[in-house]
Structure 1
Protein backbone atom coordinates (compact mmCIF):
# COMPACT_ATOMS: atom_id res chain seq x y z
CA UNK A 1 0.00 0.00 0.00
CA UNK A 2 2.87 2.34 0.74
CA UNK A 3 4.22 1.68 -2.75
CA UNK A 4 0.85 2.46 -4.34
CA UNK A 5 0.61 5.76 -2.46
CA UNK A 6 4.18 6.70 -3.36
CA UNK A 7 3.78 5.67 -7.02
CA UNK A 8 1.09 8.33 -7.26
CA UNK A 9 3.52 10.87 -5.73
CA UNK A 10 1.66 11.19 -2.43
CA UNK A 11 3.60 11.10 0.86
CA UNK A 12 2.97 8.14 3.20
CA UNK A 13 3.01 9.33 6.81
CA UNK A 14 1.76 6.25 8.69
CA UNK A 15 0.03 2.94 8.07
CA UNK A 16 -1.21 0.26 10.47
CA UNK A 17 -3.93 -2.31 10.42
CA UNK A 18 -6.19 -4.43 12.55
CA UNK A 19 -8.04 -7.60 11.49
CA UNK A 20 -11.11 -5.57 10.46
CA UNK A 21 -9.66 -2.28 9.16
CA UNK A 22 -6.57 -0.35 8.20
CA UNK A 23 -5.50 3.26 8.70
CA UNK A 24 -3.51 4.88 5.92
CA UNK A 25 -2.35 8.44 6.67
CA UNK A 26 -0.73 10.34 3.84
CA UNK A 27 -0.09 13.78 2.46
CA UNK A 28 -2.10 13.98 -0.73
CA UNK A 29 -1.14 15.92 -3.84
CA UNK A 30 -3.95 17.52 -5.85
CA UNK A 31 -3.04 15.54 -8.97
CA UNK A 32 -5.45 12.68 -8.26
CA UNK A 33 -8.88 12.30 -6.72
CA UNK A 34 -9.17 10.51 -3.40
CA UNK A 35 -11.70 8.07 -4.86
CA UNK A 36 -9.30 7.11 -7.67
CA UNK A 37 -6.46 6.58 -5.20
CA UNK A 38 -8.62 4.48 -2.88
CA UNK A 39 -9.84 2.38 -5.80
CA UNK A 40 -6.21 1.69 -6.75
CA UNK A 41 -5.13 0.95 -3.16
CA UNK A 42 -8.01 -1.46 -2.54
CA UNK A 43 -7.92 -3.11 -5.96
CA UNK A 44 -4.16 -3.55 -6.18
CA UNK A 45 -3.76 -4.71 -2.59
CA UNK A 46 -6.61 -7.25 -2.97
CA UNK A 47 -4.98 -8.61 -6.10
CA UNK A 48 -1.61 -8.81 -4.32
CA UNK A 49 -3.07 -10.67 -1.31
CA UNK A 50 -4.89 -13.15 -3.57
CA UNK A 51 -2.00 -13.67 -6.01
CA UNK A 52 0.35 -14.42 -3.13
CA UNK A 53 -2.24 -16.63 -1.42
CA UNK A 54 -2.03 -14.80 1.93
CA UNK A 55 -5.65 -15.76 2.64
CA UNK A 56 -7.33 -19.17 2.49
CA UNK A 57 -10.43 -17.54 1.00
CA UNK A 58 -10.67 -14.85 -1.66
CA UNK A 59 -9.74 -11.55 -0.02
CA UNK A 60 -11.95 -8.54 -0.71
CA UNK A 61 -12.21 -5.15 0.96
CA UNK A 62 -15.65 -3.99 2.01
CA UNK A 63 -17.25 -1.36 -0.18
CA UNK A 64 -16.50 2.24 0.65
CA UNK A 65 -13.97 3.93 2.89
CA UNK A 66 -13.77 6.73 5.41
CA UNK A 67 -11.55 9.73 4.77
CA UNK A 68 -10.78 12.57 7.14
CA UNK A 69 -8.44 15.53 6.80
CA UNK A 70 -6.24 16.97 9.51
CA UNK A 71 -4.25 20.16 9.94
CA UNK A 72 -0.47 20.05 9.90
CA UNK A 73 -0.43 20.71 13.66
CA UNK A 74 -2.24 17.37 14.22
CA UNK A 75 0.12 15.17 12.16
CA UNK A 76 2.13 13.80 15.10
CA UNK A 77 -1.06 13.05 17.09
CA UNK A 78 -2.58 11.15 14.16
CA UNK A 79 0.63 9.18 13.61
CA UNK A 80 0.75 8.24 17.31
CA UNK A 81 -2.91 7.18 17.15
CA UNK A 82 -2.31 4.98 14.09
CA UNK A 83 0.84 3.40 15.51
CA UNK A 84 -1.01 2.42 18.70
CA UNK A 85 -4.07 0.76 17.15
CA UNK A 86 -3.76 -2.48 19.11
CA UNK A 87 -3.83 -0.65 22.45
CA UNK A 88 -6.49 1.79 21.32
CA UNK A 89 -8.92 -0.90 20.17
CA UNK A 90 -8.79 -2.67 23.50
CA UNK A 91 -10.89 0.27 24.74
CA UNK A 92 -13.28 0.87 21.84
CA UNK A 93 -14.44 -1.15 18.83
CA UNK A 94 -13.69 0.02 15.33
CA UNK A 95 -17.38 0.54 14.52
CA UNK A 96 -18.01 2.61 17.66
CA UNK A 97 -14.90 4.64 16.97
CA UNK A 98 -15.92 5.21 13.36
CA UNK A 99 -19.30 6.53 14.49
CA UNK A 100 -17.48 8.87 16.89
CA UNK A 101 -15.40 10.19 13.97
CA UNK A 102 -18.50 10.75 11.87
CA UNK A 103 -20.17 12.63 14.70
CA UNK A 104 -17.03 14.64 15.51
CA UNK A 105 -16.69 15.70 11.88
CA UNK A 106 -20.46 16.37 11.71
CA UNK A 107 -21.04 13.85 8.92
CA UNK A 108 -24.59 12.55 8.54
CA UNK A 109 -24.77 8.79 8.03
CA UNK A 110 -27.20 5.94 7.68
CA UNK A 111 -26.46 2.87 9.84
CA UNK A 112 -27.28 0.60 6.87
CA UNK A 113 -24.20 1.84 5.01
CA UNK A 114 -21.60 1.60 7.75
CA UNK A 115 -18.83 -0.97 7.82
CA UNK A 116 -19.83 -4.49 8.78
CA UNK A 117 -18.29 -6.50 11.62
CA UNK A 118 -16.03 -9.40 10.67
CA UNK A 119 -17.82 -12.73 10.42
Structure 2
Protein backbone atom coordinates (compact mmCIF):
# COMPACT_ATOMS: atom_id res chain seq x y z
CA UNK A 1 0.00 0.00 0.00
CA UNK A 2 1.11 3.53 -0.76
CA UNK A 3 0.83 6.56 1.44
CA UNK A 4 -1.42 9.29 0.02
CA UNK A 5 1.71 11.41 -0.59
CA UNK A 6 3.45 8.64 -2.52
CA UNK A 7 0.26 7.94 -4.48
CA UNK A 8 0.05 11.61 -5.46
CA UNK A 9 3.72 11.71 -6.57
CA UNK A 10 3.19 8.50 -8.55
CA UNK A 11 0.13 9.97 -10.30
CA UNK A 12 2.07 13.13 -11.18
CA UNK A 13 4.90 11.03 -12.61
CA UNK A 14 2.56 8.82 -14.65
CA UNK A 15 0.82 11.90 -16.07
CA UNK A 16 4.17 13.41 -17.09
CA UNK A 17 5.41 10.17 -18.68
CA UNK A 18 2.20 9.52 -20.61
CA UNK A 19 2.43 12.99 -22.14
CA UNK A 20 5.95 12.15 -23.37
CA UNK A 21 4.60 8.96 -24.99
CA UNK A 22 1.56 10.62 -26.63
CA UNK A 23 -0.85 8.73 -24.39
CA UNK A 24 -3.91 10.89 -23.72
CA UNK A 25 -4.34 10.38 -19.99
CA UNK A 26 -7.34 12.58 -19.19
CA UNK A 27 -7.55 11.82 -15.46
CA UNK A 28 -5.64 9.77 -12.91
CA UNK A 29 -6.20 9.24 -9.22
CA UNK A 30 -6.83 6.43 -6.82
CA UNK A 31 -6.30 5.38 -3.29
CA UNK A 32 -3.50 3.64 -1.40
CA UNK A 33 -4.03 0.28 -3.12
CA UNK A 34 -5.12 1.09 -6.69
CA UNK A 35 -5.33 3.75 -9.40
CA UNK A 36 -7.99 4.72 -11.92
CA UNK A 37 -7.11 6.22 -15.29
CA UNK A 38 -9.35 7.82 -17.90
CA UNK A 39 -7.53 7.36 -21.20
CA UNK A 40 -8.51 8.37 -24.71
CA UNK A 41 -7.03 5.83 -27.11
CA UNK A 42 -5.57 6.92 -30.42
CA UNK A 43 -6.37 4.95 -33.58
CA UNK A 44 -3.22 2.80 -33.33
CA UNK A 45 -3.16 2.36 -29.55
CA UNK A 46 -4.44 -0.61 -27.57
CA UNK A 47 -5.18 -0.75 -23.88
CA UNK A 48 -2.88 -3.73 -23.22
CA UNK A 49 0.18 -1.89 -24.58
CA UNK A 50 -0.67 1.30 -22.73
CA UNK A 51 -1.20 -0.50 -19.42
CA UNK A 52 2.08 -2.40 -19.84
CA UNK A 53 3.88 0.86 -20.54
CA UNK A 54 2.33 2.72 -17.59
CA UNK A 55 2.82 -0.10 -15.11
CA UNK A 56 6.33 -1.03 -16.16
CA UNK A 57 7.75 2.46 -16.38
CA UNK A 58 6.08 3.73 -13.20
CA UNK A 59 7.21 0.76 -11.08
CA UNK A 60 10.77 1.14 -12.36
CA UNK A 61 10.75 4.88 -11.60
CA UNK A 62 9.17 4.46 -8.17
CA UNK A 63 11.53 1.66 -7.10
CA UNK A 64 14.76 2.99 -8.59
CA UNK A 65 14.69 6.68 -9.37
CA UNK A 66 11.91 8.48 -7.50
CA UNK A 67 14.00 9.47 -4.51
CA UNK A 68 10.96 8.85 -2.31
CA UNK A 69 11.66 7.36 1.09
CA UNK A 70 9.57 4.20 1.40
CA UNK A 71 9.44 0.88 3.20
CA UNK A 72 8.48 -1.39 0.32
CA UNK A 73 8.76 -1.72 -3.44
CA UNK A 74 5.91 -1.01 -5.82
CA UNK A 75 4.72 -4.14 -7.63
CA UNK A 76 1.63 -3.80 -9.81
CA UNK A 77 -0.71 -6.75 -10.18
CA UNK A 78 -0.54 -8.46 -13.56
CA UNK A 79 -4.18 -7.76 -14.36
CA UNK A 80 -6.31 -4.66 -14.82
CA UNK A 81 -9.94 -3.82 -15.50
CA UNK A 82 -10.92 -1.66 -18.47
CA UNK A 83 -14.26 -0.53 -19.85
CA UNK A 84 -15.10 1.86 -22.63
CA UNK A 85 -16.85 5.09 -21.74
CA UNK A 86 -19.01 7.14 -24.08
CA UNK A 87 -18.11 10.79 -24.55
CA UNK A 88 -21.39 11.71 -22.84
CA UNK A 89 -20.25 9.95 -19.63
CA UNK A 90 -16.60 11.10 -19.60
CA UNK A 91 -17.19 13.98 -17.15
CA UNK A 92 -19.03 11.67 -14.75
CA UNK A 93 -16.10 9.22 -14.85
CA UNK A 94 -13.60 12.07 -14.42
CA UNK A 95 -15.49 13.26 -11.32
CA UNK A 96 -15.56 9.72 -9.90
CA UNK A 97 -11.79 9.42 -10.36
CA UNK A 98 -11.16 12.79 -8.73
CA UNK A 99 -13.15 11.75 -5.62
CA UNK A 100 -11.28 8.50 -4.90
CA UNK A 101 -9.99 9.43 -1.44
CA UNK A 102 -13.48 10.35 -0.23
CA UNK A 103 -15.08 7.38 -1.98
CA UNK A 104 -12.77 4.84 -0.35
CA UNK A 105 -13.41 6.11 3.14
CA UNK A 106 -16.73 4.27 2.78
CA UNK A 107 -16.01 1.49 0.26
CA UNK A 108 -12.92 -0.72 0.07
CA UNK A 109 -11.24 -1.59 -3.20
CA UNK A 110 -12.42 -5.20 -2.82
CA UNK A 111 -16.04 -4.16 -2.27
CA UNK A 112 -15.81 -1.96 -5.34
CA UNK A 113 -14.25 -4.75 -7.41
CA UNK A 114 -17.04 -7.15 -6.41
CA UNK A 115 -19.67 -4.57 -7.35
CA UNK A 116 -18.05 -3.98 -10.74
CA UNK A 117 -17.70 -7.73 -11.35
CA UNK A 118 -21.38 -8.21 -10.66
CA UNK A 119 -22.42 -5.17 -12.72
CA UNK A 120 -20.33 -6.13 -15.78
CA UNK A 121 -20.65 -9.91 -15.47
CA UNK A 122 -17.07 -11.07 -15.07
CA UNK A 123 -15.13 -13.07 -12.54
CA UNK A 124 -11.92 -11.64 -11.03
CA UNK A 125 -9.81 -14.34 -12.70
CA UNK A 126 -11.20 -13.49 -16.16
CA UNK A 127 -9.90 -9.91 -16.06
CA UNK A 128 -6.67 -9.21 -17.87
- In the alignment, which of 75, 89, 95 is matched to residue 90 of structure 2? 75
- In the alignment, which of 38, 43, 56 is matched to residue 56 of structure 2? 43
**Counterpart check, 1:109 vs 2:117:** no
* Counterpart in the other structure of 2:6: none
- Give TM-score scaled by structure 2 length: 0.77
* Counterpart in the other structure of 2:5: none
- In the alignment, which of 7, 11, 18 is matched to residue 31 of structure 2? 18
Q: Which runs of 5+ in 1 are unaligned?
A: 115-119
Which structure: greater helix fraction? 2
Task: Provide the C-alpha distance between the structure 2 equivalents of 1:53 and 1:62, rounded to a whole number of angstroms.
Answer: 23
Q: Aligned-residue CA RMSD in angstroms?
A: 2.0
**Counterpart check, 1:96 vs 2:111:** yes
1:20-55 deviations in whole A, cap 9, x for unaligned?
A: 000111111131221111111000000000112433
The alpha carbon displacement at 1:3 in A equals 2.9
- Give TM-score scaled by structure 1 length: 0.82
The alpha carbon displacement at 1:73 in A equals 0.7
